[in-house]
């Protein structure tokens, strides 16, 4: 098995929730890239976006993920949903492990997400969840080594499906 497992997908698909349990099951380290960004910046994600704008946030996300890719060994890495806008970081992450795309249909995601801004989601002016979804899906598909569809699955079932799909 390649050494890291990198979870990508829309906000709220469960990269952080499932990632930490996956790490425990595999005996891997767990890294939440969003927390690395917050620690490096000493600010909340939503404050970085409010103060530096989306471009500024993506620069911080790019740097933090390149750092994570350089340091992580046998780790499950829960990325932020917007990491797929950071081409350089994605190249680094891809080089260190398997990219697992957690896929969820729009309607289920819409029900699950109630406070997008509070999460610090990278939303352009006037963009709604539908617009974000349509813009992001091709990017997640482009970078995915493995796609796991979690429709109608709970956290445990999603976890099980990821483990089954991981390449040796
Ligand atoms: N099958 C499932 N897999 C993962 N999470 C699920 C599932 N069903 C429901 N959930 C819930 O969905 C939420 C996922 O939130 P989480 O913060 O883990 O997403 P995330 O992908 O890390 O988002 P972000 O990009 O904002 O960091 C949690 O509240 C979790 O309990
Ligand atoms: O999908 C997004 O645009 C993001 C979601 C947040 O949880 C963070 O991962 C980050 O602020 C970006
Ligand atoms: Mg998360």
Write the ipTM: 0.95
What residues does each domain of the chain span?
4-158
Q: Who surrounds ion ligand 3 at CB < 5 A?
A: 15-16
Is 81 annotated to bind ligand? yes
Q: Any idea which residue has 């740097």 for tokens?
A: 63
Backbone angles phi, psi at 156, to 5 degrees: -65, -40
Contact at 8 Å (CB) between 19 and 32?
yes
**pTM for the whole structure:** 0.96
Q: CA geometry: angle at 18 spanning 13 and 23, to 5°?
A: 145
- In CATH terms, the fold of domain 4-158 is Rossmann fold (3.40.50)
Beta carbon of 15 within 6 Å of any ligand 1 atom: yes
Is 46 annotated to bind ligand? no
In which band, very low, low, confident or very high, does the pLDDT at 2 lie, cut at 50, 70 and 90?
low
d(CA 100, CA 157): 15
Per residue in 131-159, pLDDT (tens digit) is 999 999 999 999 999 999 999 999 999 99
Beta carbon of 18 within 6 Å of any ligand 1 atom: yes
Backbone angles phi, psi at 103, to 5 degrees: -100, 135
Per residue in 103-134, pLDDT (tens digit) is 999 999 998 887 676 777 888 888 899 999 99
For ligand 2, what atom is nearest to the CA of residue 46? 11
């Amino acid at each position: 098995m390649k050494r890291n497992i990198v979870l990508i997908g829309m906000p709220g698909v469960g990269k952080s929730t499932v990632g930490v349990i996956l790490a425990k099951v595999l005996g891997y380290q767990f890294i939440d890239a969003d927390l690395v960004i917050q620690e490096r910046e000493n600010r909340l994600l939503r404050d970085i976006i409010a103060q530096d704008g989306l471009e500024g946030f993506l620069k911080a996300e790019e740097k933090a993920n390149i750092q994570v890719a350089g340091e992580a060994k046998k780790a499950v890495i829960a990325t932020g949903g917007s990491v797929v806008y950071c081409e350089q970081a994605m190249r680094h992450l891809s080089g260190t492990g398997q990219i697992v795309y957690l896929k969820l249909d729009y309607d289920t995601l819409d029900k699950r997400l109630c406070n997008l801004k509070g999460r610090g989601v990278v939303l352009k002016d006037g963009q709604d969840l539908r617009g974000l979804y349509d813009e992001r899906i091709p990017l997640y598909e482009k970078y995915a080594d493995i796609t796991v569809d979690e429709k109608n699955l709970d956290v445990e079932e999603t976890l099980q499906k990821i483990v089954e799909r991981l390449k040796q």
